[in-house]
């Protein structure tokens, strides 16, 4: 599968946090690609490279990570562009922030001004990659959103 990176949406803000007790912490590289979900004939879904986005487009972002060396697990932190309203992740262990990355938790447990935070409130996402998964050398994380 070819991945196309839409330059206006490249995930340059991805941060890697290392969580290894070993002396040789992992060296990690990431890249990402953004796709637009299209629905044809009422139910047939496909993904196309996001060359241009319009309000209401459903997008899928795929973050690829590669462990270049070292041992142990790590954490990938990803700020969500303001133009995208978060919808969901392909992984259940994802944590989100609704306050710019200051606090973290599961959606449905975080609050803003006394109300439960909604998916549209998400500002950042993070995924912890445990040592066993990191040992495979590479992985992929996907999440979806809607263009505001």
Please give the structure tokens belonging to residue 4.
Answer: 């196309």
Domain boundaries, the chain: 7-147
**Which pLDDT score is estimated for 16?**
54
Three-state SS string across 91-127, please?
CCCCEEECCCCCCCECCCCCEECCEECCHHHCCEEEE
Alpha helices by DSSP H, the chain: 131-134
8-state DSSP, 50: -
Task: Report the chain (148 residues): mean pLDDT per 10 consecutive residues.
Answer: 34 48 74 93 90 94 94 94 92 92 95 94 96 95 96
**Which pLDDT score is estimated for 40?**
87
If you search the block for the tokens 């992984």, which residue do you land on?
91
pTM of the complete model = 0.78
**Which pLDDT score is estimated for 24?**
67
């Amino acid at each position: 599968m070819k991945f196309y990176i839409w330059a206006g949406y490249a995930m340059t803000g991805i941060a890697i946090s290392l969580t290894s007790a070993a002396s040789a912490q992992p060296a990690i590289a990431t890249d990402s690609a953004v796709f637009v979900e299209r629905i044809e004939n009422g139910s047939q879904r496909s993904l196309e490279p996001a060359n241009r986005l319009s309000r209401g487009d459903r997008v899928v972002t795929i973050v690829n990570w590669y462990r270049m060396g070292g041992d142990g697990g790590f954490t990938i932190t990803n700020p969500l562009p303001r133009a995208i309203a978060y919808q969901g992740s392909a992984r259940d262990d994802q944590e989100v922030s609704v306050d710019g990355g200051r606090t973290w938790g599961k959606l449905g447990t975080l609050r803003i001004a006394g109300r439960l935070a909604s998916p549209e409130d998400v500002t950042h996402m993070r995924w912890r990659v445990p040592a066993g998964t990191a040992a495979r050398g590479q992985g992929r994380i996907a999440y979806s959103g809607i263009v505001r």
